[in-house]
Amino acid sequence: MSTPARTARVQRETSESSIDLSLDLDGTGESDIETSVPFYDHLLTAFAKHSLTDLRVRASGDIEIDVHHTVEDVGIVLGTAIKQALGDKRGISRYGDALVPLDEALAQAVVDISGRPYLVHTGEPAGFEFHLIGGHFTGSMVRHVFEAITFHSAMTVHVDVRAGRDPHHIAEAEFKAFARAFRQAKALDPLVSGVPSTKGAL
């Protein structure tokens, strides 16, 4: 019996942003991303590549006010699409853990596809949240994105920055660590029968 496709497409329109996102959890890491926020495109491309998720995003919004609305709303849609694509979660590994360096930066992420949204996000150096990375993406947005993905995908996610000086490196290491941990957690495990939970549901 063939495995159902783990794909999703989600569209979201508000007065602040317009988003059309599609993904394939069993892809090869191909991406086609245009959010109108270049550094965010860079982070989402890294997420797709290192999680082996095919990802297409078209987003526009009121970035003349701030990138906040567009960035957060893409995170909401990405989390929603992940939840839809996971389906009933039969046969998944469920847990993932990754420790990823980027030059002087080092980030760890742990993922549990638990059905319970919970984020623990620690270790970013003081002042990171105020940095404008690439002149437009505020460091504080990294946590906002993880909050949006975590809540709307119903996953438990821990992200911890162990070291880092350059804001670009710190943010990218966080996204790559999350991607690698998610790659492990979403993977289909031939040894898993049904849903990997004593409750029988996730």
Element (H, E) at 131: none
Q: pLDDT over 90 for what percent of the chain? A: 91
**For 119-156, how does the pLDDT look when each residue is reduced to its tens digit (9 = 90+)?**
999 999 999 999 999 888 999 999 999 999 999 999 99
Residue 13 buriedness (CB in 10 A; 0-12 / 13-18 / 19+): exposed
Q: Which domains does the chain have, with CATH numbers?
A: 7-186 (3.30.230.40)
pTM across the whole model: 0.97
Model confidence band, residue 2 (pLDDT cutoffs 50, 70, 90): low
- Residue 147 confidence (pLDDT): 98
Our CA dihedral for 187, 23, 200, 202, rounded to 10 degrees, sits at 110
Question: Roughly what angle, to the nearest 10 degrees, separates helices 38-51 and 167-186?
Answer: 30
